[in-house]
Structure 1
Amino acid sequence: MAAGPSEVPPAFTPISASWLNLVERWFAELTQKKLHRSVQALERDVGAWLADWNKHPRPFIWTTRVDEIVDKVAAYWRRTSNSGH
């Protein structure tokens, strides 16, 4: 289905994947900013990070267009579909 000039192209994300993507992104954000030497340090930092995030919440914003994602998936599929595995 082609989108007109003022229409948003459709994107179909499985319901189960959308929340999982946000959880993964949340942990990526946390691990990019912190290194942990113990479980206690991880728990302390997760608690502190949550408290700060909840004081200043901000939404995750997708910056990649649907057609860019589809192109990347198609290129990956072409590379791996004949890999012999």
Structure 2
Amino acid sequence: MTPARFHQILDLIHWSGRGLAAILTCDERMVRRWGAGTTEIPPIIAEWLEALAATHVAYPPPAPGAWQRRARPVREGEHLNTDRE
């Protein structure tokens, strides 16, 4: 895996190098070296990242819709049921 592809995948899956290091429980410097191309990305990590990228492409997030809108918060003293007196 090239450093360019490595960065492309991290961008695609919305991960930072720091986040990847935390997930892998490895030193952040190692992840930075992978991104800089000074250390080879282990094949098992490259394969895993490619699989994650393929999954993100195959299953994009749902389109915006009503699920995304938040209800107005209820204020103190206000009732949820507007028919109530």
Which TM-score band (shorter chain)? 0.3 to 0.5
Q: Which has the higher helix share?
A: 1
TM-score, normalized by length of structure 1? Answer: 0.34
TM-score, normalized by length of structure 2? Answer: 0.34
